[in-house]
Amino acid sequence: MDNPFLFEFENTTPALVTDRHMAAQMAGFRALHYCTGLFTGGLSEPQLDESFSRRGVRDVETVIDREKKTVSVYYSLDMEPRIAAWRRGLGCTQLPIGATLELADDLPEFQPSVEIPNFDNQPWPMGDRNATLPLADAKKAAVSAVLDEAFKNTDGT
């Protein structure tokens, strides 16, 4: 490994993005991805691990606190981990580079007395029920024509 970070990567970005910042970004992405997958999406750790292994990201220390609903991902030996924290009705948020877990305690939250509406049961467009009805034949044909044109190859077929 050519870099001192816990992530393996090749920095192909402009010179303004340092390897240190790139490692912090990757750790933040992992923390947010795991937080959202676990606490909002109901995915399992093996499912999330698989999604990262397909991207070629090797294992890095990822600490999941199910009670506090936080995910911490370590990326450098001399920096705080990147942290994502879940909040009821708001989902996950990524804390800034260098933040500690104590900052998660100060994030805004809904009071327990606030009822979060269930949009799954409300009809479209105010909710998700019937949001995926099939298109009418005329609209379906129009969309297909646009897609066919957009995906023609260089020969026009």
The pLDDT score that the predictor gives to residue 118 is: 84
Return d(Cα 69, Cα 105) in angstroms, integer: 11
Say how many domains are in the chain: 2
How confident is the model at residue 54, as a pLDDT? 61
Q: State residue 86's pLDDT score.
A: 97
Q: Are residues 93 and 52 in the same domain?
A: yes
Domain identity same for 4 and 71? yes
| 132 and 111 fall within a common domain | no
The pTM score is: 0.70
Segments of the chain scoring below 50 in pLDDT: 1
**What pLDDT sits at residue 156?**
64
